[in-house]
Amino acid sequence: MPDLAYLNGEIMPIEAAMIPIEDRGYQFGDGVYEFVASYEGRLFMLEEHLDRLERSMRELAYEPISRTDIKNAVLELFKASGYLRAGIYIQISRGVAPRNHAYTKKMLPQIIMTIRPVKDMPAEIRENGAKAITVEDMRWGRCDTKTIQLLANSMAKQKALDSGCDDAIFITDSGIVREGTSSNLFIVAGGKLATHPLTPNILAGITRMAVLSICKEAGLEATESFFDTNALYAANEVFLTGTVTEILPVVRIDDNIIGDGKVGVITQQVYDLLKKKAMG
């Protein structure tokens, strides 16, 4: 079975899916997206992903699209693939029109999806932890809207890889810690977890949401609060959260060893609880 794509109502081999050159997603980055993963043939937190997709479209003043139609398309594509552990990428652009910064209100959106097997994080990184660098946050001011404008994220990720690290962590010019290039960030200090509050400066991660819920159920204290690089470097544990990232322990940031340089007990506990939740 080849990897499949969905393009405006039609399922086809991914190589056959093409979009017009004047699609505003291509011309202006005028598009929103989601990525949904499955575990053992069950899509995880699909409704929450659709909630966020609808919010992103509202924030960019898109014409309404039927949530039911999008959900049915996701389920149809997922079923057609036959994959048990899959990742579905959903992208919606404002539509196609002659290139102009301004846009008309009645454009037909382009709805694109692709599905592939999920490439899980290598076991070595899960067991030994990841390395990260910090970079100044140069992204636009609405990171809470999940748009396809990811150039700053891509450049930061590449800088991390070129530095021999696994990811980059965005910080402000005053040292406030934001999030990773495609993930939210938690620290553990004194047995308590903390993550950046929901503001326009970070994305409301679905896995972040799941982790906060898990912590409440498990009796782990988790707060949404601002913290700086001093707190980051001094933390007992640090981990990143994301749909594919799941729970990724970070044991070295810049030139600083986090805790004892090993995957922390609370990080492992949260990871185990997340996997249990995802497996149903």
Closest CA to 139 of 204, 231, 61, 203: 203
Contact residues for 178 (Cβ-Cβ < 8 A; gap 6+):
137, 143, 169, 170, 171, 172, 185, 196, 201, 202
Q: Where in the chain is the domain with CATH 3.20.10.10?
A: 123-279
Is-contact 27 76, C-beta < 8 A?
no
> Any idea what DSSP says for residue 240?
E
Catalytic one of 79, 146, 216, 275: 146
- Please tell me the distance from the alpha carbon of residue 86 to that of residue 212, in angstroms, as a whole number: 24
Question: What is the band of 229 on the pLDDT scale with cuts at 50, 70, 90?
Answer: very high
Is-contact 181 167, C-beta < 8 A?
yes
pLDDT over 70 at 1, yes or no: no
Q: Where in the chain is the domain with CATH 3.30.470.10?
A: 4-117
Is-contact 279 85, C-beta < 8 A?
no
- Please tell me the distance from the alpha carbon of residue 269 to that of residue 44, in angstroms, as a whole number: 19
> Any idea what DSSP says for residue 138?
-
> Any idea what DSSP says for residue 29?
-
Contact residues for 274 (Cβ-Cβ < 8 A; gap 6+):
207, 210, 211, 214, 246, 247
Is CATH 3.40.50.2000 the classification given to domain 4-117? no
For the domain covering 123-279, report its CATH number: 3.20.10.10
With pLDDT > 90 as the criterion, what percentage of the chain qualifies? 95
Q: Which two tokens stand for residue 151?
A: 């150039």
Closest CA to 195 of 132, 128, 242: 242
Q: What pLDDT does 276 receive?
A: 95
pLDDT tens, position by position, 47-71: 999 999 999 999 999 999 999 999 9
pLDDT tens, position by position, 33-48: 999 999 999 999 999 9
Q: Rounded to two decimals, what is the model's pTM? A: 0.95
CB atoms within 10 A of CB 62: 20
Closest CA to 180 of 200, 157, 158: 157
Does residue 146 carry a catalytic annotation? Answer: yes
